[in-house]
Amino acid sequence: MELISQSDKERLEAQLAELIQFRPVVAGRIAEARLQGDLKENADYHAAREDQGMNEAKIRDLEAKLQRVQVAGEVDVPSDMVFLGATVKLKDVGNGREEMFRLVGHVSDDGGDDSVIEVTATSPMGTALMKARINETVRVDLPRGERRFLIVAILG
């Protein structure tokens, strides 16, 4: 079971709906290409069939993902505790620089807000942040070494 935020679930459902709505478009392209004649050397037909296969694979993937996820907001979490969906302001103990992070179940494809860095709950940063509290210092083991962050605020 994978935990995701409500907005992540809604985004996945919207992607699924969009892919399902694309089915008739691809079917129409295949039908048009069939009317052109010989299917062995019909590039439009083969391209449409390939698009159909990729679309159906994405649909199956999203349906499977939605079946194994749980929305994290369904449990009561103290307001001073970092949990999935929370945006936190962290201060790097080493250099004093402050940054904003959002703990997500799945990083958004559009890159999200440039002022907030999205981290998944299973990443080293996400694991360190999960269930941490305001004014607590967390240790994050990164590929370039260990870093420590003070949790300054939880913004939502």
Give tens-digit pLDDT for 82-129: 877 788 999 999 898 999 988 887 666 655 567 888 888 888 888 888
For tokens 């478009």, the residue is 25
Rounded to 10 deg, the angle between the 43-67 and 6-34 helix axes is 160
Bridge-based pairing of strands 137-142 and 145-154 is: antiparallel
Q: Say if residues 33 and 27 touch (Cβ distance below 8 Å).
A: no
Above 60 in pLDDT, residue 75? no
What structural domains and CATH numbers belong to the chain? 2-72 (1.10.287.180), 76-154 (3.10.50.30)
Does the predicted TM-score (pTM) go above 0.85? no
Cβ neighbours around 155 below 10 Å, total: 11
Nearest to 92 by CA among 152, 133, 36: 152
In tens, the pLDDT along 10-60 reads 889 999 999 999 999 999 999 998 888 787 888 889 999 999 999 999 999
Res. 81 pLDDT band, cuts 50 70 90:
confident
